[in-house]
Structure 1
Amino acid sequence: MKKIEAIIRKSQFSEVKKALHDVGVNFFSYWDVTALGNERIGKVYRGISFSTADIQRRYLSIVVNDDFEQITIDTLIKSAGTGEVGDGKIFVYDVNETYRIRTGEKGGETLR
């Protein structure tokens, strides 16, 4: 099993959520986060100056069986990508075991 963490643009979240559901990833957690990006210039929008150093993003935590790892990654890249700086990052970790609290069941079946 794999844990896939992704930091994406908030504006892409609806598209990412739909794309993940379309490929069969029906459960994941997400949080609104503030990230520190590489771009450190100030911008002016409608006469108001603001810093682009702190950027609002959405953090997704997804656990999938090994056979869904690449499908999930490809879906995230395709649906979250805009081709611009700041599209985000994906991190992949091994998961040793999962348990369903309600039944005590363990293993990959708990993800379905």
Structure 2
Amino acid sequence: MKLIIAYIQPHKLEEVKQELAKAEVAKMSVTNSLGCGAQQGYHESYRGVEFDVNLLKKVRLEIAVSQPYVEKTIDAIIKGAKTGEIGDGKIFILPLEDCIRVRTGERGREAIG
């Protein structure tokens, strides 16, 4: 089992969700986040005051999958999020020691679904 964490552009969320649905991956958690990376933000002026905006809006996806779905999930995220520009995002893959479905007590692969 793996936990896949992806940071993507907010406007690409619907496309990523569509690609994940095609890959038969439907269970995910989505969170709005702020971050900076290679984009390094931008410089802005508001009412004569200049400032740097270096924390940009991103969307964080967390998806727990069993081993057969790892590559399909990664490929779907890339296909939906990629523009070829700096700031497309990052994907992190972490080992998932266990998963427990609260309602039934199921563990492991059965709990992920």
1:10 and 2:18 aligned: no
- How far 1:58 moved relative to its partner? 0.2
Where in structure 1 are there 5+ consecutive unaligned residues? none
Identity score, percent: 35
Superposed counterparts of 1:72-91, under 5 Å: 72-91=73-92
Q: What is residue 33 of structure 2 aligned with on the other side? A: 33
Distance 1:26 1:103 in 2: 20
RMSD of the TM alignment (CA)?
Answer: 1.7
Q: What is residue 96 of structure 1 aligned with on the other side? A: 97
CA contact (8 A) 1:7 1:90 kept: yes
Q: How many residues align?
A: 108
- How far 1:18 moved relative to its partner? 1.2
For structure 1, which segment, 86-95 or 30-39, has the greater mean C-alpha deviation from structure 2 after superposition? 30-39
CA contact (8 A) 1:2 1:92 kept: yes
With normalisation by structure 1, the TM-score equals 0.88
Distance 1:24 1:70 in 2: 12
Q: What is residue 56 of structure 1 aligned with on the other side? A: 57
Deviations 1:23-56 (Å, cap 9, x if unpaired)?
1111100100011233244268xxxx77452210
Distance 2:23 2:79 in 1: 12
AA aligned opposite 1:53: N
1:24 and 2:1 aligned: no
Distance 2:51 2:72 in 1: 38
AA aligned opposite 1:95: L
CA contact (8 A) 1:80 1:87 kept: yes
For structure 1, which segment, 99-108 or 7-16, has the greater mean C-alpha deviation from structure 2 after superposition? 99-108
CA contact (8 A) 1:37 1:55 kept: no
CA contact (8 A) 2:41 2:56 kept: no
